[in-house]
Amino acid sequence: MDDALLKRSALVSRVLPFSCVDGPGNRLVLFLQGCNFRCPGCHNPHTIGLCDDCGDCLAACPSGALSQLDGKVRWREVLCTDCDACLDVCPRSANPKIATMTVAGVLALLRSYGPLLSGITVSGGEATTQLPFVVALFGAIKGAPDLAHLSCLLDSNGSLGAAGWQRLLPVLDGAMLDLKGWRDSVHHSLTGYGRERVLASLELLARHGKLAELRLLHVPGQSDFLDGEGELDHNLSQFLHQLGAVPIRINGFRHHGVRGAAAQWPEATRDELELLASRLRAAGLGPVSLPALML
């Protein structure tokens, strides 16, 4: 592979060496920093913004792991206790503990875990805001004889345009997309973004057989997947049928990690998720799955 592509880099908020909930099998997960959505109920709000080196986090760090050098915030991992006090005070919903990782660096990490992995999932934030890195990384994995068996999945909000997906499709095994509201007004209130590109992304990926999972987020009192009679919205049902037999996962809103006014929203109950699941199954959609635990 071209050396320039191996040197392509991304801002990484976190690396999870082993995960069984971010796609099938045992997966290494990269959480990239930065998101173009502004979901008030985000569980990882510190992955949204980019650090502007303001220095507000320095005084909050009890272990002295953060400092400022030449106007830039520096993080010393060896001193960090992962208390996350810096994340709580950041005015930009950023993470001062990010790392810059190259494609070559991620390949080395994958090789270090060897046969323990079945694939890699790139998540966020929003992974497609660093699209050139993702394309280069997946291409490098597919082109490496010792790594080509690993599946390459993307966890996305679906805001990427068609031209971007066309760049990804040749090296993408599947994408897991969220649909957080059906009507545009509801989607906008829950994400700060309209639904048009999300629906277009779902259709494009389904058409190419690359829609690995559709995730519906139920927020009590705000979600509109069911109508006033508790039945599946007719237009939503028609849209989902057009996608074909796509796995649907229902997630319920929880308070974990949430900040601001959304921390006062009611949490979803198991009964509410079961009702939505039953309506989807009755419409012949799915397979439909729910969280194993309501944490």
Q: Comparing C-alpha atoms, which of 295, 258, 252, 293 is closest to residue 276? A: 252
- DSSP string of 226-264? B-TTSSBPHHHHHHHHHH-S--EEEEE---TT--GGGGG
Asked if 45 and 191 sit in the same domain, the reply is no
What pTM, to 2 d.p., does this model score?
0.94
User: For residue 71, what is the domain's CATH number?
Assistant: 3.30.70.20
Asked if 135 and 261 sit in the same domain, the reply is no
Asked if 172 and 287 sit in the same domain, the reply is yes
Token pair 């971010």 in the structure block, residue: 22
Asked if 202 and 110 sit in the same domain, the reply is no
Asked if 161 and 264 sit in the same domain, the reply is yes
Q: Comparing C-alpha atoms, which of 80, 81, 55 is closest to residue 69? A: 55
Q: For 195-215, what is each residue's pLDDT tens digit? A: 999 999 999 999 999 999 999
Say if residue 5's pLDDT is above 90: no
Distance CA 179, CA 181 (A): 6
Distance CA 179, CA 235 (A): 14
pLDDT score at 2 = 77
User: For residue 42, what is the domain's CATH number?
Assistant: 3.20.20.70
Asked if 179 and 285 sit in the same domain, the reply is yes
Count how many domains the chain has.
3
Q: Which of 63, 89, 115 is the last residue of a domain?
A: 89
Q: For 24-72, what is each residue's pLDDT tens digit? A: 999 999 999 999 999 999 999 999 999 999 999 999 999 999 999 999 9
* CB of 146 closer than 8 Å to CB of 117: no
Q: For 222-273, what is each residue's pLDDT tens digit? A: 999 999 999 999 999 999 999 999 999 999 999 999 999 999 999 999 999 9
Asked if 263 and 204 sit in the same domain, the reply is yes
pLDDT score at 229 = 93
Asked if 42 and 58 sit in the same domain, the reply is no
Q: Backbone phi, then psi, for 235, in 5-degree steps?
A: -70, -35
Say if residue 10's pLDDT is above 90: yes
Check residue 196 and report its DSSP letter: H
What is the three-class DSSP state of 213? strand
pLDDT score at 293 = 62
Asked if 103 and 193 sit in the same domain, the reply is no
Asked if 39 and 69 sit in the same domain, the reply is no
Q: Comparing C-alpha atoms, which of 213, 140, 144, 222 is closest to residue 182? A: 222
Say if residue 295's pLDDT is above 60: no
* CB of 140 closer than 8 Å to CB of 5: yes
Q: For 96-115, what is each residue's pLDDT tens digit? A: 999 999 999 999 999 999 88
Asked if 233 and 121 sit in the same domain, the reply is no
* CB of 41 closer than 8 Å to CB of 190: yes
Say if residue 1's pLDDT is above 90: no
pLDDT score at 294 = 57
Asked if 41 and 8 sit in the same domain, the reply is yes
Distance CA 220, CA 169 (A): 35
pLDDT score at 292 = 74
CA–CA distance from 192 to each of 104, 117, 123, 280 (Å)?
35, 36, 19, 26
Q: For 83-96, what is each residue's pLDDT tens digit? A: 999 998 998 889 99
Containing structural domain, residue 64: 52-89
For residue 250, list its beta bridge partners. Answer: 216
pLDDT score at 4 = 84
